[in-house]
Structure 1
Amino acid sequence: MVAFHASALDGVAANPALPTPLLLRLLTFDGGGHGPPRRALQRAALPEPAIAAILAHPLQRARIDFAMSAGARPAERARLVDDPSPKVRAALAYGPEWPDPRTPVAPLPDAVCARLLDDPDPSVRTALLESPYLTPAFVASLATHGEPEARRIAVREWEALPAGERSALSVDPDPEVRRAAALWECRRDVRLTTELLRDPKAAARALRYGLLTFADAERCIAERTHLASLAENPSLPADLVERLATDPDEAVRLAVSLRPELDEPQRMAIDFTVGDHARGDVEWVRHGLTDPEVLRRAATSAHPLLRRTAAQSPHLPSDLLRRLARTEDPVVENLLSIHHPDTPQEILMRVFARLGGTFSAWMAQTHPRFPRHGLAARYADHPDGNYRRLAVRDPAATSELIERLSHDPEVWTRQAAASDPRLPLGRLREALHVPELASSAGANPALPEEEMTAVVDRADVSA
C-alpha cells in the first residue's frame, strides 16, 4: 500500500483541479523525510500562499525542487537567494534541469545573479557560471569581476565588450582568461593566431577560428595537425580549401563540405559521408536560425547536415517547412517535430510510430498540431498499444471506449485512459487502487475533491 499511496499522491499533486487547501497540505508534507511530491513543488502559476509554504519548508529537498522549477517565474525562484542552504542557492543559480525545448527559460534578474556570484559558498558561484540561462548583459558585466572564472566566462560576449575591457582581458593575470581572450581576438589578428598554434591547449580552436597566414596553414596541412578544425577556418585560402576537399581523411572532407562560402555544386562535388543518425550542428546555420537567407540556403541544400540544422529552427517559413517535410530523412522529421509548431500532422504521426515510448507520448500531448479528431475510429482496435492510446486523444471518444481502454493490455494505454476526464467515475475510483494506474487517476481533472482528499488523508498528510 505504501507504493500505491505514493503513486496516487504524485498524481493528485499534478492534478489541474487540485483545490488550494489540498495543495497547501501537500506542500507542508514531510514525506518521510523526502518532502512534498515534486509535481506539487514544480506546478506552474502557484498561488502566493503555496510559494510562501515552499520557501519556509524545513526540508532542503523541497526548496531545491522549487529552485529548479521550469514552471515558476524567475522572480518567484529568486526569493530563495538568501536561503540558508548553499545547495538550495546552487540549485537556484543553475536553474531548471529539464525545460521544455519549445519554451525558452526566462533567466533570473541580473541583480539576483550578481548576488549569487558573490555568494560565500564556492559551489553557488560555480553553479551560476555553469548556468545556460544567463543574460548576455550579465555575462558581459563579468569582464571586470574579481574572480578569474567569471572573467573567463565574460569572454563569451567578446564583441559586445568595450575596447578597454577587451584589452584588459588580453593581459589578464590569469592564464586561462588570457587564453580565452586570445582565442576570440585571434579571429582578426594573424600574429596572435601564430602564437596560439604553439599552445597545445589552444591550437585546435585557433586553427578553426583564427586569422591564418598562408605559411601556417600550409605547415599544418603538411604536418596533418588538427586538419578537421583547419578545414572549417573562415580565412583558409581557396586553393587550400580545394586541397582539403580531396583529403584522404573523411572527417576533413566532411568539414570542408560544410563551409558557408561553397555553392551547392561545389559542396556536393565533395566525397563525404553523413551518418544516418548524425543530428546536425553546423555552426553558421545554427547561428542563423532566425535569418531567412541562411535558412533558405540550408533547407534547400542537398547536404543532410545543413538540412538537419535548419530543421531545428521554429522560424522556418511555410515553403521551407514543406520542403524539409518531404526529404524523407528521419532525423529531419524528428527535429521538426520537436522545434516547429506547424510541423505537418503526417510527419508527427511518422515520428510517433518510429520512436514510440516517452518521446512519442510527450509529443502527442504537447505538440499543437498533433492530430486529435478521428483517432478513436482509426486506432481504438489497432494491434499496437502505442497506437491504441491515441484513441484517448479523440474528442469524440465515448466514455465506454475510454473505460474499455483503461483495461487495455498495454500499460501506457491504460494510463492514458485513467487520466481522461471521460472515464466513468466508478472506474476512476477503482483505478486509484491499481498501482500502475494510481498516478494517472490521481491526476485526472474529473477526480472529485473528496477523492483527492481521501488520497491525501490515506498518505497521512497532515491537515
Structure 2
Amino acid sequence: MITPEGIREAAALPERRLAGLALNPSAPEDVLLRLLADGPAAARMVLCRDRALPDAVVDAAVAHPDRYTRSFFARNPHAEPSQRARLVDDPEWFVRAHLADGPRLPWAVRPRPLPDRAVVHMIRTYENELLGGTFHRQISAGLMRSMHAHPDAKVRRMGVSWSGVPDEALDALLADPDDEVREMVLLRLRHKDPEWVERELPDRPCHARTGMLTNDALSRGVVERVLASPDTPDDRFMIAGNPTLPADAVRRLAVDADPEVREQIAFRSDLGAEERRVLAGDTDPRVRLAVSVHPALSEAERAAIDYEVPVDGTFGAWPRSLVARDHGEVRRDAVSGHPMLRRRAAREPSLPADLVERLAADDDLGVRVLLAQNHPDAPPALLLRSFLEYTGPEREHLLTRPRFPTAGLARHAGDTDPAVRALAARDPAAAAETVERLTRDPDPGVRAAGAGHPNLPRARLAELLEDGELAHRAAANPALDPAVMRRLVAPLPLRDDAAG
C-alpha cells in the first residue's frame, strides 16, 4: 500500500513544484481544481490534506474517483468536520477508516468533533475494527456523556466502554434489553469486587495485571501478598497509586525502600499528616518534590520542604480535558508560591484574564511557556519570549498559536539560532534583501522559510522555482503571479501511478 511518505519521496522536481502550488494560499480556484483533477499524487495529497479548501474544491475532493485522494481529505484538520463527514458512507473501507481515525494532529491537540449524527451513524454501521484507535477523540463531550442512554444498543455499548457508567444510570443499564450492554456493565462492576479481582488477577506480568493492580478494588489478600512477596518488581509501585489501598498499606509504602514507590505514594490525596511529614524529609529529591504539591499542605508547609523544581522539562501542549477543573482550585494553584502548582494552572485553557496576566510575568520558565503553549489568549509578547527562551520539545508548537506576533521579527534575521533566524520570514514587512539572504542561509529550514516570503525579489523567486530543494516552497509563495501558476499547470495531466 502506498504511503504518504512514499508519495513524497517518489516525487520528482515537477511534482514537488506542483505540490507547493497546491498549498499556495493565493492559488485561484481553477488552478486548484486542475491540480485535483489532473495533478500528480504529491499535489493531490497536500491539496486535500494540508490546507483549507474553497467549497467547489471540497465538492470535487469528496467526489474524486481516487480513493487515496478522498482519504487524504478525510484526515484534513483544516476542513470543517461537516465537510469531512460527507465521506461517512464512502464505498471504500479505506476512506471510511481514515475518516474514523481522524485528522492529522499532534497528540495534545484534540480535533474538532464530527457532527453527532455522523458519529452515531458510524458507530451503527462501521465495522468495530474501524472504530478503535483515535475515533473517540472526534466525539463531542455532550454525545460522549449521553451515549450510555442512546436508543441504539451499539451506541450504548460504546458509551459503556468509553465513558463508563454514571451511578445514576447503573440500575437502568443492569436491566438493559441488550445482552452485551448488561454484560459490559457487569464486567465493570466486577472490577469493583475485591474477591473477583483476587480470583482473576493474573500471576504473571501482563497488561491485565497492571490494570487491575493500578485501578481495581484490592482485597486484603492481594495487598498483603504484594507487600510480602510481590510476583513482579513493579507490583508495589502499581498498588501505591490504587485508590482502594487501605491506610495501613499507605503508611507502609511511605517508607518503602524503593524511592519510586515512595514518590508514587507521595502523590496520594489521602496521605495522613504523619506520612506527609516523613515524605517531606525524604532523602530522594523526587519524593520531596512530589509531596510538596500535596493539596493538604499550606503554603508555609510547602515552603518548608527542600524541594527542587526541574527547569529542563518538556513544556508543551496538553490535551484539553472534557471535564473542566474546579475554578477555585485553579486559582489557588495560580497564586501559589510553588512553581509546580503554577505550572499546573498555566496548562488550563480556561484560565481567566487576570491570572493570564499574572502568570505571563511569572519568574519560572515552565509557567510562562506552558501558558503560552496552552492558553488561547496568551499575549503575543509572551509567545515570542517563550520561543526565544525555550528550546525543548514542542517548541515549534508555539508558532501555531493564533496570536504569535509577526511585526518586527525581521530583526532576528542574524540570530545564531536557525529557528530564531527563520522567524524573520514571518515578518510581512521584512525587506526584500533580508528575505533573499534568508534563502541563501546555511540552514535548510531558514532557506525554506525565506522562499515562501511574498517580499522575495521576483527574479530570485523565479530562480527558486527551478531549484531542486526549494521549488515546492517557492511555488507556495503567495506573491507568485497567477499567470505563472497557470503556466505551471498547463502541461497537466501529469498523473502517476502512485495513488490512482
Partner of 2:100: 93
SS at match of 1:132: helix
SS in 2 for 1:450: helix
Partner of 2:19: 10
Larger deviation, residues 61-70 vs 105-114 = 105-114
Secondary structure of the residue that 2:430 maps to in structure 1? Answer: coil
Amino acid in the other structure paired with 1:71: H
Q: Give 1:122-161 correspondences, 5 Å limit.
A: 122-126=128-132, 130-139=135-144, 140-141=146-147, 150-151=157-158, 153-154=160-161, 156-159=163-166
CA contact (8 A) 2:19 2:42 kept: no
Q: CA RMSD in A?
A: 4.1
Cα 1:430/1:410, change in 2 over 3 Å:
same
Q: Counterpart of 1:407 in 2: which secondary structure?
A: coil
| Structure 2 CA distance for partners of 1:340 and 1:44, relative to 1, 3 Å | same
The answer to whether the aligner puts 1:375 opposite 2:380 as a matched pair is no
| Secondary structure at 1:164 match in 2 | helix
For 1:400, which of 433, 438, 462 is the aligned residue? 433
Separation of aligned partners in 2, 1:394 and 1:277: 30
Q: 2:115 aligned with 1:79, yes or no?
A: no
Deviations 1:24-68 (A, max 9, x none): 11121352xx37432311355533321221122111001101111
CA distance in 1, matches of 2:238, 2:322: 18
Matched, 1:355 2:355: no
Which residue is 1:291 aligned to? Answer: 326
Q: Would the alpha carbon gap of residues 245 and 279 (structure 1) be closer, same or farther in structure 2, given more than 3 Å must change?
A: farther
Distance 2:17 2:250 in 1: 62
The residue identity in structure 1 corresponding to 2:22 is: A
Equivalent AA in structure 2 for residue 355 of structure 1: T
Displacement after TM superposition at 1:116 (Å): 2.0
Q: Relative to 1, partners in 2 of residues 1:344 and 1:119: Cα closer, same or farther, differing over 3 Å?
A: same
**Structure 1 pair 259/428, CA: closer, same or farther in 2 (3 Å)?**
same
Matched, 1:26 2:18: no
When the two structures are superposed, what TM-score results if normalisation uses the length of structure 1?
0.79
Distance 2:369 2:493 in 1: 44
Q: How many residues align?
A: 445
TM-aligned CA distance change 1:354 to 1:50, over 3 Å: same
Q: Deviations over 1:301-358 (max 9, x none)?
A: 7484x6655443223345477558746465x56544421241674675454565389x
Gaps of 5+ in 1: 187-191
Change (3 A) 1:456 1:447: same
Change (3 A) 1:244 1:459: farther
Please state how far the C-alpha of 1:149 moved relative to its aligned partner.
10
Distance 2:176 2:332 in 1: 37
Which letter does structure 2 place at the counterpart of 1:403? E
Find 2:256's aligned residue among 229, 247, 250. Answer: 247
Q: Could you say what secondary structure the match of 2:490 adopts?
A: helix
Which residue identity lines up with residue 266 of structure 2 in the other structure?
S
**SS of structure 1 residue aligned to 2:415:** coil
1:189 alignment partner in structure 2: none
1:145-174 per-residue CA deviation (whole Å, 9 max, x = no partner) reads: 656994575452311772334325899569
1:440 aligned to which of 473, 476, 494: 473
Aligned to 1:193: 194
Name 1:339's counterpart in structure 2: 374
Which one of 53, 62, 68 corresponds to residue 69 of structure 2? 62
Find the aligned partners of 1:59 and 1:302 in 2 and give their Cα distance. 56
Secondary structure in 1 matching 2:199: coil
Tell me the CA shift for residue 183 of structure 1: 6.2
TM-score where L is the length of structure 2 = 0.74
> 1:355 is paired with a residue of what secondary structure?
coil
Worse overlay, 6-15 or 268-277: 268-277
Unaligned runs of 5+ in 2: 1-9, 203-207, 290-309, 496-500
**Partner SS for 2:242:** coil
Say if 1:390 and 1:449 are closer, same or farther in 2 by CA, change over 3 A: same
Deviation string, structure 1 residues 177-208 (Cα, Å, up to 9, x no partner): 35752267x2xxxxx13322332266654554
In structure 2, what is the Cα distance between the partners aligned to 1:122 and 1:215?
A: 38
Q: Following the alignment from structure 1 to structure 2, what is the Cα–Cα distance between the partners of residues 321 and 248?
A: 44
Superposition map of 1:93-132 within 5 A? 93-98=100-105, 101=108, 104-119=110-125, 121-126=127-132, 130-132=135-137
Q: Does 1:40 align with 2:76?
A: no
Contact 1:405 1:417 in 2 (8 A): yes
Q: Which moved more, 1:307-316 or 1:7-16?
A: 307-316
